[in-house]
């Protein structure tokens, strides 16, 4: 078992917050980072800075990786491959599901176990009980080390054996996060062009965002059933609405790339014969990208 000790490799904002969280819980923490000076504050708190990658890996059964991406993992670990046998690599670096699957094979070939993690919070959320990280990979390794994983984020939803799944759940959250935030920047640009500040529209923006979960829940069952009936909304209505949005943004002189992309998708739905269906029918287009 991992006992009460762990190695953390990669001391960006996330890795440092993780090492701090382990120290807070009384773990013996070994750290390593390409730029060694990033370990200074952790060493002052009692962490041990490993002199090299092989020593960092050898120090503990569980090795938490918090690197920019999976390419960085190979760059770091390849020179110390011989130390990997018997280790559990908890990879909390984000990348694609395919990269996670390849890394799990790569680790297995070297006698190591790979657990994929997708952290859903920024550094300030690390170490908190309400924060969440998706995990996938071997169930027995996940179960054996869950108490340790719980230190990073209190919630540790397990997605399944497929190493790609945690990365997939992470990416599903991120496609929503980045596009939603982009819609917020668009709203602010439109507000600013009309003399309103971000603070002026904040409560309206929050109310709008808070209305979305009701729509998610309403459409989830219908979309899974292939039911795009236009009883509560019609794509023709939605298309008129997004065209008004495009024109409002153009009239204000702000960038129209985002609203134009939305209009383009809605019009493709109209062209595909969905005018009288719900705007949820756009999902059908997204499943089959234009050639």
Give the shortest CB-253-to-ligand NDP separation in angstroms.
Answer: 33
Give the shortest CB-65-to-ligand NDP separation in angstroms.
Answer: 9
Q: Based on CB atoms, which residue is closest to ligand NDP, 38 or 222?
A: 38
- Find the binder of ligand NDP among 60, 93, 99, 116 (CB under 6 A): 93
Q: Are 79 and 57 in contact (CB under 8 A)?
A: no
Stretch that binds ligand NDP, among 68-76, 106-114, 231-239, 275-283 (CB under 6 A): 68-76
Other beta carbons within 10 Å of 286: 10
Give the shortest CB-38-to-ligand NDP separation in angstroms.
Answer: 5
- Find the binder of ligand NDP among 4, 25, 38, 155 (CB under 6 A): 38
Determine, following the binding rule CB under 6 A, whether residue 14 of this chain makes contact with ligand NDP. yes
Q: Within positions 114 to 133, which residues make up the interface with ligand NDP, using CB under 6 A?
A: 119, 122-123
Contact letters for ligand NDP, residues 15-34 (x by CB under 6 A) = x-----------------xx
- Find the binder of ligand NDP among 35, 203, 210, 211 (CB under 6 A): 35
Determine, following the binding rule CB under 6 A, whether residue 281 of this chain makes contact with ligand NDP. no
* Nearest residue to the partner ligand NDP, using Cβ: 12
Q: Based on CB atoms, which residue is closest to ligand NDP, 122 or 253?
A: 122
Q: What tokens does 159 get?
A: 């997605």
Give the shortest CB-106-to-ligand NDP separation in angstroms.
Answer: 16
Q: Are 267 and 239 in contact (CB under 8 A)?
A: yes
Determine, following the binding rule CB under 6 A, whether residue 68 of this chain makes contact with ligand NDP. yes
Determine, following the binding rule CB under 6 A, whether residue 13 of this chain makes contact with ligand NDP. yes
HEC profile of the chain: CCCCEEEEECCCHHHHHHHHHHHHCCCEEEEECCCHHHHHHHHHCCCEECCCHHHHHHHCCEEEECCCCHHHHHHHHHHHHHHCCCCEEEECCCCCHHHHHHHHHHHHHCCCEEEEEEECCCHHHCCCCCCEEEEECCHHHHHHHHHHHHHHCCECCEEECCCHHHHHHHHHHHHHHHHHHHHHHHHHHHHHHCCCCHHHHHHHHHHHHHHHHHHHHHHHHHHHCCCCCCCCCCHHHHHHHHHHHHHHHHHCCCCCHHHHHHHHHHHHHHHCCCCCCCHHHHHHHHHCCCC
Determine, following the binding rule CB under 6 A, whether residue 155 of this chain makes contact with ligand NDP. no
Give the shortest CB-42-to-ligand NDP separation in angstroms.
Answer: 12
Contact positions vs ligand NDP (CB under 6 A): 10-15, 33-35, 38, 66-69, 72, 75-76, 93-94, 119, 122-123
């Amino acid at each position: 078992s991992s006992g009460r000790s762990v190695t953390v490799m990669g001391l960006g904002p996330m890795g440092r917050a993780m090492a701090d969280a382990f120290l807070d819980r009384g773990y013996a923490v070994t750290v390593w980072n390409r730029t060694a000076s990033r370990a200074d504050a952790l060493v002052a708190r009692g962490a041990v800075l490993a002199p090299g990658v092989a020593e960092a890996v050898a120090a503990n059964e569980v090795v938490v990786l918090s690197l920019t991406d999976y390419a960085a993992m190979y760059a770091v670990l390849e020179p110390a491959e011989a130390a990997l046998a018997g280790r559990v690599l908890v990879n909390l670096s984000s990348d694609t599901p395919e990269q996670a699957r390849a890394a799990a094979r790569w680790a297995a070939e070297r006698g190591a176990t790979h657990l994929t993690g997708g952290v859903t919070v920024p550094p300030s959320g690390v170490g908190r009980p309400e924060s969440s990280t998706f995990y996938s990979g071997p169930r027995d390794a996940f179960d054996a080390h869950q108490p340790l994983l719980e230190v990073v984020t209190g919630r540790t939803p397990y997605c399944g054996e497929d190493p790609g799944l945690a990365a997939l759940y992470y990416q599903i959250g991120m496609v929503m996060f980045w596009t939603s935030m982009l819609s917020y920047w668009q709203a602010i640009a439109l507000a600013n062009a009309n003399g309103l500040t971000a603070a002026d529209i904040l409560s309206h923006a929050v109310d709008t965002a808070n209305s979305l979960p009701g729509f998610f829940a309403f459409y989830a069952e219908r979309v899974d059933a292939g039911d795009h009936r236009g009883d509560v909304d019609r794509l023709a209505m939605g298309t008129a609405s997004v065209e008004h949005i495009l024109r409002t943004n153009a009239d204000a002189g702000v960038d129209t790339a985002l609203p134009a992309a939305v209009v383009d998708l809605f019009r493709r739905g109209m062209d595909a014969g969905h005018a009288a269906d719900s705007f949820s029918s756009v999902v059908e287009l997204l499943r089959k990208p234009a050639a």
